[in-house]
């Protein structure tokens, strides 16, 4: 399984290297600077409904404010950015960085920083007075020894349970499950109807599910302790949490290609639940040209993933300034838009996220997004595994591989041993 998965990644990267010669949908340009145009290559993994709409909204602001520059969309498809990061690694190793690239705020950026791939952006923070408008915890999370290495554009919540109210009613589930035990009972009731109890996507979505189950089973304090020196990955509490994960995963349908088709199964009434970040809101809610055009509280609804009520498992998309960026001035211009109130308020309502800034126009954030703004300001906080807050990229890859093997063999003891070994090798 592991060899097949790694081989597939290698083939994917080779294909992506060929595709990137085509630019953003055309076939003429070999590089974003071809033809003498002042293009700014923005590398991300925002290609799906909702996220692509948000990126387009920021692009329009960028080109309006910078008439001498042209946005070059170097987005690579694939949820959670696994394919994009694999391609990015080859570009950085070849000393051909994009002008700016997306990265999750937190531990994910540490590898790039240690490799000397990023410039600090402290001067930009000083110029724009960003420390006054970004939460201190967020600034701390993206700083290393006093240096700040990215500009966060949003805050996402990972631990969201999306569900179809009609499917739950048909199954006789009268209360939204709040605990893992209640969730398991609800999944069993749905199973008896012949519907899919839990929709999942590709391998990374299973790690996304795992982080919510760990938080719900261990509790917030114990979960946060996992990312500190001397953490206990081998004890009985972790064994119970992983058995909870095994039970929940046993109700999953066949893996879809990515998170969007899994979410669509819920929206279309084929499945009852999916555990996915709140970017799913934009996909469910946005009009059909960029989403599914579904009605909240009727076609879909949401709640904290089981056992995690009162805790906001967070992540943040951010943009960086690579060393050797071909158009450094253009990259800085993009970072200014990403950091701005105008840029974040244009981007986030479409993306299904809330702004990183504290001074956003709250009237733009309604429905689910109003709930997220309230909870971000009042809940306990925990960091996402899959989305780069708590673990560096090498550690995340080890966790992904362990979960991939577990999906095949369902061996809890082997999974626990692999996770403990990954933590030991992480250098935490």
How do residues 240-280 score in pLDDT, each as one tens digit? 999 999 999 999 999 999 999 999 999 999 999 999 999 99
- What tokens were used for 223? 């979960």
Q: Does residue 321 contact residue 119 with C-beta atoms inside 8 Å? A: yes
The overall average pLDDT reported for the chain is 90
- What tokens were used for 3? 């060899």
Distance CA 313, CA 301 (A): 18
How much is the pLDDT for 423?
Answer: 95
Would you tell me how many other CB atoms lie within 10 Å of the CB of residue 182? 15
How much is the pLDDT for 15?
Answer: 42
pLDDT at 125 over 50: yes
Q: What secondary structure letter does DSSP report for 26?
A: -
Distance CA 360, CA 18 (A): 40
CATH number for 2-155+317-366 (one of 3.40.190.10, 3.20.20.70, 3.40.50.720, 3.30.830.10): it is: 3.40.190.10
How much is the pLDDT for 49?
Answer: 75
- Pick the range with the lowest mean pLDDT from 24-33, 245-254, 280-289, 332-341: 24-33
The band of 28, judged by pLDDT with boundaries at 50, 70 and 90, is: very low
Checking DSSP bridges between strand 147-148 and strand 143-144, what pairing results, if any? antiparallel
pLDDT at 189 over 90: yes
Cα atoms in the 13 Å half-sphere on the side-chain side of 318: 30
The string of DSSP codes covering 214-260 is HHHHH-HHHHHHTTSTT--SSSHHHHHHHHHHHHHHTTB-SPPSSHH
Calculate what percentage of the chain has a pLDDT beyond 90.
78
How do residues 198-235 score in pLDDT, each as one tens digit? 999 999 999 999 999 999 999 999 999 999 888 999 99
- In the predicted model, what is the mean pLDDT of residues 12-22? 38
Q: Are domains 2-155+317-366 and 157-313+387-424 of this chain identical in fold? A: yes
Calculate what percentage of the chain has a pLDDT beyond 70.
90
How do residues 356-411 score in pLDDT, each as one tens digit? 999 989 999 999 999 999 999 889 999 999 999 999 989 999 999 999 999 999 99
Q: Where are the domains of the chain?
A: 2-155+317-366, 157-313+387-424
How much is the pLDDT for 79?
Answer: 65
Q: Alpha-carbon Rg of the chain, whole angstroms? A: 21
CATH number for 157-313+387-424 (one of 3.60.40.10, 3.40.190.10, 3.40.50.10440, 3.40.50.1970): it is: 3.40.190.10
pLDDT at 32 over 80: no
């Amino acid at each position: 399984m592991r060899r097949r998965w790694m081989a597939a990644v290698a083939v994917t990267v080779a294909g992506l290297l060929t595709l990137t010669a085509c630019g953003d949908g055309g076939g003429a340009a070999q590089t974003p600077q071809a033809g003498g145009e002042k293009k700014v290559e923005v590398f991300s993994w925002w290609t799906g409904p909702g996220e692509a709409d948000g990126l387009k909204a920021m692009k329009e602001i960028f080109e309006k404010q910078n008439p001498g520059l042209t946005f070059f969309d170097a987005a690579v498809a694939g949820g959670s950015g696994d394919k994009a990061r694999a391609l990015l690694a080859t570009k950085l190793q070849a000393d051909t960085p994009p002008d700016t690239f997306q990265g999750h705020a937190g531990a994910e950026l540490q590898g790039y920083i240690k490799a000397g791939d990023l410039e600090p952006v402290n001067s930009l923070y000083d110029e724009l007075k960003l420390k006054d408008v970004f939460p201190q915890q967020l600034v701390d999370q993206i700083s290393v020894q006093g240096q700040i290495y990215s500009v966060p554009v949003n805050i996402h919540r990972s631990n969201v349970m999306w569900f179809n109210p009609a499917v739950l009613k048909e199954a006789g589930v009268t209360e939204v499950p709040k605990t893992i035990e209640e969730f398991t009972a609800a999944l069993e009731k749905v199973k008896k109807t012949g519907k899919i109890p839990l929709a999942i996507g590709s391998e990374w979505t299973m790690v996304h599910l795992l982080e919510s189950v760990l938080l719900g089973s261990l509790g917030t304090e114990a979960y946060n302790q996992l990312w500190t020196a001397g953490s206990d990955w081998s004890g009985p509490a972790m064994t119970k949490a992983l058995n909870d994960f095994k039970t929940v995963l046993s109700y999953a349908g066949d893996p879809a290609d990515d998170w969007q088709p899994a979410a669509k199964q819920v929206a279309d009434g084929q499945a009852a639940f999916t555990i996915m970040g709140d970017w799913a809101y934009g996909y469910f809610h946005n009009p059909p040209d960029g989403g599914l055009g579904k009605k909240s509280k009727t076609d879909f609804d949401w709640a904290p993933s089981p056992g995690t009520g009162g805790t906001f498992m967070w992540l943040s998309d951010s943009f960086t300034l690579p060393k050797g960026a071909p158009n450094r001035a253009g990259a800085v211009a993009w970072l200014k838009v990403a950091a701005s109130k105008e840029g974040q308020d244009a981007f986030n309502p479409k993306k299904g996220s809330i702004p990183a800034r504290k001074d956003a126009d709250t009237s733009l954030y309604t429905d689910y997004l109003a709930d997220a703004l309230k909870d971000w300001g009042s809940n306990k906080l925990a960091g996402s595994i899959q989305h780069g807050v708590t673990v560096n990229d090498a550690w995340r890859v080890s966790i992904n591989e362990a979960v991939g093997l577990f999906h095949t063999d369902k061996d809890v003891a082997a999974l626990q041993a692999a996770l403990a070994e990954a933590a030991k090798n992480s250098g935490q």
